[in-house]
C-alpha cells in the first residue's frame, strides 16, 4: 500500500503482511513510519510496502436481508416491509470500542447500501433503526432521504429512534 492509502485505514481494519502472510488489525503508524499490526497478543511492525488490506465480508451486505414483515404474501414485493438496525452492537459488534467517527462511517455506508438495495427490490416501506443518541446519524439519514427522488415520505417513530421510509 502507498503512504496515502495507509492514511485512509482505520484503527482495527484487517490487514495482512504480503511478505509473511500474517494477518492482524491495523494499529496505526509508529514514529519511523512502520505499520503497527496487532496479531493476536503481539504487535508486529510491517513496512508499508508489504501491507495489504484484507477485504472483510461486507457486513452491510449481510445486514441487507429483506424479510417480509407484513401480513401479506411475500410474492408482492411492494407490500414488503424491511428494517435495518444501525446500532453498532447489532451491525458490527467488532467495532464496539472503535472511534465514534469510524462507527458513524460504517453506519452511514450500511444505510446508503441498504437504501439502494431496497430501491432495487422495489420495496415500498422500510424502517431504519438509528437510535436517539445525539442525532448525528439521524441527521445524515434525513438529509440523504430529502435528496432522493425515490423517497415519497419519511417520519420518525419510536421516540425518534427510528425512521419509517415510504418509497415510490
pLDDT digits (tens, 9 = 90+) for 102-139: 999 999 999 999 999 999 999 999 999 999 989 999 99
Residues 114 and 49 in one domain: no
Percent of the chain with pLDDT over 90: 53
Cβ(52)–Cβ(63) below 8 Å? no
Mean pLDDT score across all residues of the chain: 84
pLDDT of residue 56: 57
Task: List C-alpha distances in Å: 117 to 1, 87, 140, 158.
Answer: 31, 19, 18, 24
For 20-74, how does the pLDDT look when each residue is reduced to its tens digit (9 = 90+)? 888 888 888 998 889 999 887 788 999 999 999 887 544 444 444 444 444 443 4
> How many CB atoms neighbour CB 135 within 10 A?
12
Residues 146 and 98 in one domain: yes
Q: Average pLDDT in the 64-93 region?
A: 63
Residues 93 and 157 in one domain: yes
Q: Quick check: pTM over 0.75?
A: no
**107 grid coordinates:** 453506519
Residues 49 and 30 in one domain: yes
**Residue recorded with cell 418509497:** 167
pLDDT of residue 73: 37
Residues 89 and 147 in one domain: yes
Residues 43 and 64 in one domain: no
How many domains does the chain divide into?
Answer: 2
Q: Can you give the residue range of the structural domain that contains 82?
A: 59-167
Amino acid at each position: 500500500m502507498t503512504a496515502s492509502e495507509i492514511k485512509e485505514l482505520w484503527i482495527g481494519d484487517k490487514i495482512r503482511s504480503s511478505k509473511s502472510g500474517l494477518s492482524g488489525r491495523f494499529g496505526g503508524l509508529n514514529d519511523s513510519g512502520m505499520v503497527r499490526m496487532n496479531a493476536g497478543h503481539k504487535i508486529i511492525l510491517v513496512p508499508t510496502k508489504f501491507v495489504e488490506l484484507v477485504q472483510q465480508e461486507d457486513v452491510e451486505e449481510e445486514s441487507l436481508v429483506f424479510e417480509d414483515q407484513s401480513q401479506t404474501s411475500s410474492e408482492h414485493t411492494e407490500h414488503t416491509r424491511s428494517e435495518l438496525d444501525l446500532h453498532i452492537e447489532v451491525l458490527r459488534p467488532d467495532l464496539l470500542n472503535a472511534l465514534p467517527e469510524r462507527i458513524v462511517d460504517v453506519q452511514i455506508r450500511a444505510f446508503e447500501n441498504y437504501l439502494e438495495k431496497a430501491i432495487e427490490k422495489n420495496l415500498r416501506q422500510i424502517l431504519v433503526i438509528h437510535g436517539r443518541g445525539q442525532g448525528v446519524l439521524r441527521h445524515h439519514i434525513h438529509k440523504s432521504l430529502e435528496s432522493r427522488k425515490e423517497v415519497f415520505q419519511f417520519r420518525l417513530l419510536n421516540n425518534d429512534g427510528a425512521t419509517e421510509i415510504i418509497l415510490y
